[in-house]
Amino acid sequence: MLETSKERAELLKKGFAGKKIEELYLVNNKFKIVAFPRIMGFIRSE
């Protein structure tokens, strides 16, 4: 699913956000994401 740029462009034209298309691509192609959560937003700098 979403193997070609043409398929992704069609979803963009239908109103899907780029981030959502990336998520659909990863989920439907059974990618496994392994990463640390972003915590930099929680750290206060003074």
Count structural domains, the chain.
Answer: 1
Is 24 part of a structural domain of the chain? Answer: yes
- 43 is a domain residue: no
Q: Residue 45 domain-assigned? A: no
CA distance 9 to 15: 10
* Residue 44 lies inside a defined structural domain of this protein: no
Is 46 within the bounds of a domain? no
- Domain-located, residue 29: yes
Residue 28 confidence (pLDDT):
83
- How far from chain centre, in Å, is Cα 30? 13
In a domain, 6, yes or no: yes
What is the per-residue pLDDT for 46? 47
pLDDT tens for 1-46 read 678 889 989 999 999 998 898 888 888 888 777 766 666 555 544 4
Range of the domain at 9: 1-36
